[in-house]
Amino acid sequence: MKSKFAALLFFVFASACMIGHAAARDLADIKKAGVLRHLGVPYANFVTGDGQGLDVEVMQLFAKEIGVKYLYVKTSWKDVIPDLTGKQVESDGDNVKITGEAPIRGDVIANGLTILPWRQKVLDFSAPTFPTQVWLVAGPQSSIKPIVPSGSIDGDIAAMKRSLAGKKILGKNKTCLDPKLYFLEDANAVTSLFEGDLNELAPAVISGVADATLLDVPDALVALDKWPDQIKILGPISRQQEMAVAFSKDMPELRQAFAVFLKKIWQDGTYTAMVTKYYPDVFGYYPDFFTLK
């Protein structure tokens, strides 16, 4: 019992030491330390919060591939980039501003992080790992009606925006669901930034907090599965986007190692099997994305 307690103390101490380190580590440092720290925000089925999720499995496999242990470091949308890069950042449209320093707590971000222009200025992304798109989702009582698809994504987006005048739309700051990214105020929508987690957006509109919320496709699919008769998908608000694993810009070797790994699991079917487990519906919406590249 004593020895277990001592081992636990040592592990906590070692983790604290690793987490408190103030410099980004590349592949050699990670191998030397013997642990890959996966930064993840609990979100949809990418990181479910109970030790499961598509990105958790991918990162566990990646850690095994490079011969180190896996360590999950829980973070938040607000801190996820500072925790990787050591820089406090503030986005403004497609631009980003460095506003301060922060301790580095992890080696890689993987939790369905959408590739956005401003994020590309502070992060290096892997090859796209998951397709997405931002949809508007509402509760059944919402007065906004789903659009009739026109066959053109731009036409659908325009039709969606036309119905938002005066409607309260929820979004989430510093994420791919930031209303500013989609110019909703130009459509005379009343945008509101949600304080809770992304996973709570769907329940929020079900309970009538707003007329609709921005939600990316993976999360919308999870919500449809959880609340089959309580939410309605209204239509798209963005073109197709892509998610990827993010690295600090001073980690080229780790990113390259992941690129090799991703290609391998993509080609041998491992990745498709993982996606099927967590997002069985996504193939129906984006059939081309998961074909061999």
Binding site residues, other proteins, CB under 8 A: 135, 140, 143, 145-149, 156, 220-221, 224-225, 227-230, 232-236, 280-281, 284-285
**Cβ–Cβ under 8 Å, residues 168 and 143:** no
Nearer to other proteins, 88 or 230 (CB): 230
For other proteins, give the closer residue by CB, 123 or 189.
189
- Toward other proteins, which CB reaches closer, 133 or 175? 133
List phi, psi (to 5°) of 234: -90, -40
Closer residue to other proteins in complex, CB, 77/135: 135
Of 34 and 149, which has the nearer Cβ to other proteins?
Answer: 149
Query: Residue 230 to residues 91, 208, 285: CA-CA distances in angstroms?
Result: 34, 11, 21
135/237 Cα distance (integer angstroms): 5
Residue 210's closest CA among 159, 135, 157, 136?
136
Distance of closest approach, residue 232 Cβ to other proteins, in angstroms: 4
CA dihedral 250, 256, 262, 263 (to 10 degrees): 150
In the complex, the smallest distance separating the C-beta of residue 160 from other proteins, rounded to whole angstroms, is: 9
CB of 216 to other proteins, least distance (A): 13
**Residue number, 269 or 280, with CB nearest to other proteins:** 280
- In order, the DSSP letters of 189-235 are -EEEE--S-GGGHHHHHHTTSSSEEEEEHHHHHHHHHHSTTT-EEEE
Alpha carbon distance 160, 227 (integer Å): 23
DSSP string of 68-81, one letter each residue: -EEEEEE--TTTHH
Residue with tokens 């090859």: 127
Query: From CA 63, how far away is CA 31, in angstroms rounded?
Result: 10
- Output the smallest distance, CB 196 to other proteins, in A: 23
Q: State the minimum distance, in angstroms, from the CB of residue 141 to other proteins.
A: 10
Nearer to other proteins, 69 or 226 (CB): 226
At closest approach, how far in Å is the CB of 25 from other proteins?
A: 40
Q: How far is the CB of 213 from other proteins (least distance, A)?
A: 14
Q: How far is the CB of 72 from other proteins (least distance, A)?
A: 28
Round to whole Å and give the CA distance between 147 and 207.
22
For other proteins, give the closer residue by CB, 127 or 224.
224
CA angle 75, 77, 80 (to 5 degrees): 55
Report the distance separating Cα 256 and Cα 251, nearest Å: 9
